Structure 1
Amino acid sequence: MNQFKVERYNDTHFELWNTFVSKTKNGTFLFHRDFMEYHKDRFKDYSLLVFKKNRLIALLPANVKDNVLYSHQGLTYGGLLIEPATKFQMVFDCFKTIMHWLSVAGISTFNLKVLPAIYSPVPNDELLYLMFAMNANLYRRDSLAVINLQSPVAFSKSRLEGCKRAEKHKLIIKEEHTFDAFWNTILIPNLSNKHKASPVHSLEEITYLKSKFPENIRQFNVYHDDQLVAGTTVFVTDYVAHSQYISGNASKNELGSLDVLHAHLIQNVFNKQLYFDFGTSNENAGKQINTGLQFWKEGFGARTGVQDFYSLETKQYKALESVLI
């Protein structure tokens, strides 16, 4: 493994990092440094670059806290970013090198947040095998509600009836380029009242990110008699459209506002994508599922994918020594 070299990310790597992300089989705009660093005051970055004979071969987006390395906690997913041509042996050697390097550096534990399979057009399960080989602890598994847009399942009767109500009430759907109305009128009040929570992104943060990634972050609002009644914020990657935020006012069921909005997005706006990802319906760290929310998503033809979360001690890299024969 002496031909491999690991370096911590610093500002001099900015262009190198972003260029490599654009060439990987499993990179999305969330791994661009402009996205990763919008909340750099909240996380101590500990992202890693791996070189083989001075050629960059892999990236690991990460942060560190209390001697534990995390797949970056400010991102929805993580893992090892590699090029499509990279074969298993290279991934194996690369990850073993990282784990050894972390162990020597005094990082005791690595918590891995796996990239869901739908985000990579090329098979991307090398790390799942390595987690098994190192006897990593699967401590969480979230269920994702996903529509295969190239082989869709028909909408349920309930969702079609919602769309009919929306048509009756003459709802209007608009794509907006600002977030103020949705954040302040719908999203923040709903999260506060129902969950005593706030959006992961503040209004200032989502506005900043939109300025950096205008084609990847899109806002769609629904109006009834010129009044905003519902909306969704969609994160768009090369193959997936993901509803990051979904919210409507108290009349959403009566008006069918969220039904007609997502029917429009699925059938008309993002129908050329491979997948539409509603995200999770999980609570209690993946151990419970909100059945009402799951029922609503499945009404559009969504079915279940998963995202895994693993924890392992870095010294477990030694278990890899007997894997290859």
Structure 2
Amino acid sequence: MAFYEVYSHPALIRYKTNVCTRATLFVLMVFCLTYIPPLLVAYKSQGFWLKRSTYEEQPVVQFQYQMLMIGATGTAGEFVAWSTFPDFNRLLGSNLRIPAVSVKEEDSNQDGKSDRLRLQLSVPLKAEEQIYSIQLLLTFSYQLFRMSTVVMQSMAFIQHSSSVPGSQLFINGDLRLHQQIPLPHRGLHAAYNVSVVETGSPFATSYDLASIIRAYQARNLTTYLSCPTPVWIIGRAVNAPFQINAEVRYPLETISYRPGFWEMIKFAWIQYVSVLLVFLWLFNHIQTFVFQNQVLPTVPKPLLKTHTQ
């Protein structure tokens, strides 16, 4: 008569011994070799603790309608200038040229956040004046909310020069965020929520571009205009204004931040367990071989007996 298996279950066998035996010492050694080396391997493999992470966020950017423009009109230091700061304009005297300004911010995806700034300046010039270089400073309100809340005043600086006088400068670029150090994972970061330019100051040094940029670049958080291809157009008609056309996009940013405690633990736990599973499998088989074959003397006591049906 042929037999076939209709049911099976494992038998649990306990291997017992006294406290001060080689088997006890072996179990303690296996325990240490199972749980401690995975920790060392994960730690030494670079990346056990998550010290820095990133996320993406569309910043809330608003143009502050603050501008400072300086244009060089010759080689002897002649220039024309204008700004939205009345005290600076009073210092210019006959060098002041008040342009016609057109500003438009667009929200192309209708998410409630501006995606682009279109700016046009028409700078009036005298018949004998020519523009050889231009410097333009624009200020923005810049905010982040997804993790830590960042509220700051930032700027974009546009500069271009040519040996040939121009009639128009066209700029198309992205307002990018630059971080010196990662942001915290939560909290309010408003240390730079101050004006980039010291408005209301009657002193010319307050509007010196070199001083403004030096102080601005000392910050941990700044923005800059990424524009690899400015276009300098020549051939200005007599008495025609010099045109500045700028398109500034507010792109999705990758923000670097310092993870919180629980995020660090979660990441470290994954690294540890992934190595621990290999050691558990290995030393479980070693212990099974040692005790089943009585390499170290113990007293086996079956807890469940196998029943044959």
Give the TM-score, by structure 2 length: 0.23
| More strand as a share of residues | 2
Q: For the pair shown, which has the larger CA radius of gyration, 1 or 2?
A: 2
Higher relative contact order (CA 8 A, sep 6+): 2
Greater share of helix: 1
